[in-house]
Amino acid sequence: METSPSDRFVVETPENIRFGYDVADIGSRFLAILIDSLIQGVLYILLTIAAAFTASRLTAVALPTVVNDILAILFVLTLFLIQFGYFLFLEIVMAGQTPGKRLFNLRVVKDNGYPLSPLDSIVRNIVRIIDFFPFAYGIGLITMFLNRRAKRLGDFAAGTIVVKMRNQVRLTDITVAPRAPADAAPLYADGVNRLHEQDVAMVEAFLLRRENFTNREQLAQQMAQRLATKMGRTEIPTQPKDVISFLRDTVNEYRRGRG
């Protein structure tokens, strides 16, 4: 793996397949976290209003001291969850994004190019507490300025990086084909059950972004050969158009088999 002077983050797989991302710059990350902070601010306001309303209702009730203490702890805990649980929850359910990151086409991925896992997000956001000190992500910003990939401490701890997603991505590249009749054998069904999720995920990422690669025909051929080997196929297409069809149809058949 390497980052070129043009801020390209290049990943090389064990099969010698290379693909790259544009590393997110500090400016775009700042704007993304600004949007997320505004959303958090709205949540803080709503929480404060709810707490004030609840307190006014309970003023006339003589609650035991322990109950008042529990309510205060719950309030502080909720503040903490909004501050740090916001990023943790959304990065998991939005596959490495938050509303701010999505607005600016940013995504958190692993250093090896694979998608962010829930455990990665947990580690990344626990360390966010340190990045936030002494205030306004002071430590995090200093760390980002001191490394070429604009990583904060949470990224180093989780082995992640924030990248830019290309605007020219077209989901039609991997549109699932219509379901074949029950008595018809799928074109690339043989051996699909031998593939793993990471194999298919890499091919899908390539299909989505293949127009960005100057050596896309070579990459496609390498990926097709890798899939064919795992599927136990002895022959694969050689023409570029047929190779792309092979990759797309194999991915579609794999997804169809999993519902």
Per-residue pLDDT reduced to its tens digit, 78-122? 998 998 899 999 999 998 999 999 999 999 998 877 788 999 999
The tokens 């990759």 sit on which residue? 247
Closest residue by Cα to residue 163 from 20, 37, 57, 18 = 20
Whole-number Cα distances in Å, 29 to 128, 137, 164: 14, 12, 10
pTM here? 0.60
Which run of H or of E encompasses 9? Answer: strand 8-12
3-class DSSP state of 174? helix
H helical segments located in 59-187: 65-80, 86-93, 99-103, 118-126, 128-132, 138-145, 153-158
- Averaged over successive runs of 10 residues, the pLDDT of the chain (259 residues) comes to 49 57 87 94 93 80 77 90 91 93 92 86 92 85 89 94 70 47 48 79 80 77 84 80 86 76
